[in-house]
């Protein structure tokens, strides 16, 4: 019987940002990992099957880690017809996203954790790295096993709980005791399993802001890292509160949603720059897209008066805006790569290093994802999608 040897890949002339700049390097990929990095071509046996790709000096960055994605689709705030369809595979990969964390939002009634886990497995079968959160906006949280601790402990893709809504008219108006009990469940499950064990908190635009999280930190022994607020740039005063929480040890998440001129909000790029200038810990900041989620606006009675849909492409758009404003790749990249990977305890993600997963994105001169590799498999080559979802044309 003839045994075929798996093909290695040699990426030549890559301008590597790991996120730190390494200069022009050659990379050998195999078995889903980065096997070797060097500035000169390696000596390889002639009989060894190697697929060589010349990146011609393009910038090579770690695959983007999007920590807030509605993989089942979001929405539903204005009737069943407003339920957003689930994004298909290439919507992520064309945007340079190689890892996602899925969650439920307002609709954790018609949509379920069971459906979420099925969607995560479907994305994995198509080659994307995917995990998820137990629960949704409301308490008690929707679960598979009957408890958040059980979900995190026994359902492999589930790494925390979220997005639990606070300071929002759509939330279940959780009390401090309820939040602490939920956070303790997630934290202990994280200790048991080595998973993230965090509470991913949706922040609405309510005046209470992050008061509940401050009270939780002041009145419990739980580590600050357990509380992970997102959408913190949706109000300028809320962002200022979030920066102070980052100083206390929380990791805060910016959402790359559109911001109109004169709106009481910061764009993700504006908020990133303000965070940097604040002197808060750089490692405590992440950026996510809210891809697949509904981005509604409400009137004074809480009724939807308009809506948009989050897109994975918002991450690269934000990254490129930061670069255009004078930020270096080394400074900007961690919030999109290594910081979320560290918070979410995703080993091998968010960096380019020997032994790390071969999740890589080559950027063209305009900052678009020209080449995208997940576990060394090409999903996009020279700007052309190579692997599509089952139901994509």
**What distance in Å separates the CA atoms of residue 390 and residue 318, rounded to the nearest whole number?**
29
What number of CA atoms fall less than 13 Å from residue 274's CA on the CB side?
18
Q: How far is CA 155 from the centre of its chain?
A: 20
Q: What is the torsion angle, in degrees rounded to the nearest 10, for the CA atoms of residue 180, residue 347, residue 321 and residue 291?
A: -60
Q: Name 202's bridge partners.
A: 165, 230
At which residue do the structure tokens 């949509």 appear?
A: 111
Angstrom CA distances, 85 to 75, 76, 80, 292, 384, stand at 9, 11, 11, 7, 24
Dihedral sign from CA coordinates of 322, 325, 328, 331: negative
**What distance in Å separates the CA atoms of residue 163 and residue 229, rounded to the nearest whole number?**
9
CB atoms within 10 A of CB 277: 8
CB atoms within 10 A of CB 271: 26
Q: How far is CA 26 from the centre of its chain?
A: 28
Residue 253 structure tokens: 């998440």
Secondary structure class of 13 (helix, strand, coil)? strand
Closest CA to 68 of 233, 298, 248: 233
Determine which one of 151, 290, 359, 371 is catalytic: 290
Angstrom CA distances, 190 to 35, 133, 148, 149, 373, stand at 30, 12, 11, 8, 29
Q: Is 168 a catalytic residue?
A: no
Q: Name 60's bridge partners.
A: 16, 362
Q: Active-site positions?
A: 290
């Amino acid at each position: 019987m003839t045994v075929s040897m798996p093909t290695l890949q040699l990426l030549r002339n890559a301008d590597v940002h790991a996120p730190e700049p390494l200069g022009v390097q050659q990379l050998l990929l195999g078995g889903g990992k980065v096997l070797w990095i060097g500035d000169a071509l390696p000596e390889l046996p002639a009989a060894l099957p190697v697929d060589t790709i010349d990146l011609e000096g393009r910038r090579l960055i770690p695959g983007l880690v999007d920590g807030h994605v509605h993989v089942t689709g979001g929405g539903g705030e204005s009737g069943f017809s407003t339920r957003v369809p689930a994004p298909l595979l290439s919507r992520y990969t064309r945007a340079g996203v190689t890892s996602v964390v899925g969650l439920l939002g307002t609709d954790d009634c018609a949509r379920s954790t069971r459906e979420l886990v099925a969607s995560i497995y479907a994305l994995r079968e198509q080659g994307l790295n995917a995990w998820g959160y137990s629960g949704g906006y409301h308490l008690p949280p929707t679960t598979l096993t009957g408890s958040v601790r059980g979900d995190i402990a026994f359902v492999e893709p589930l790494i925390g709980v979220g997005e639990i809504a606070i300071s929002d008219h759509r939330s279940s108006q959780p009390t401090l005791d309820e939040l602490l009990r939920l956070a303790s469940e997630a934290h202990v499950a994280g200790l048991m399993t080595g998973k993230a064990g965090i509470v991913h908190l949706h922040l609405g635009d309510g005046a209470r802001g992050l008061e509940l999280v401050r009270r939780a930190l002041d009145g419990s022994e739980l580590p600050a890292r357990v509380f992970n607020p997102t959408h913190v740039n949706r109000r300028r005063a809320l962002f200022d509160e979030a920066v102070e929480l980052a100083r206390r040890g929380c990791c805060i998440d910016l959402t790359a949603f559109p911001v109109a001129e004169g709106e009481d909000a910061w764009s993700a790029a504006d908020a990133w720059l303000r965070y940097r200038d604040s002197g808060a810990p750089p490692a405590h900041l992440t950026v996510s897209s809210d891809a697949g989620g509904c981005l509604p606006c409400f009137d004074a009675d809480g009724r939807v008066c308009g809506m948009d849909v989050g897109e994975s492409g918002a991450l690269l758009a934000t990254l490129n805006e930061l670069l255009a404003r004078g930020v270096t790749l080394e400074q900007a990249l961690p919030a999109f790569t290594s910081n979320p990977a560290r918070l979410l305890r995703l080993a091998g993600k968010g960096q380019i290093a020997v032994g790390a997963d071969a999740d890589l994105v080559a950027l063209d001169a305009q900052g678009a994802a020209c080449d995208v590799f997940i576990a060394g498999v090409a999903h996009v080559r020279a700007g052309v999608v190579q692997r599509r979802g089952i139901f994509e044309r």
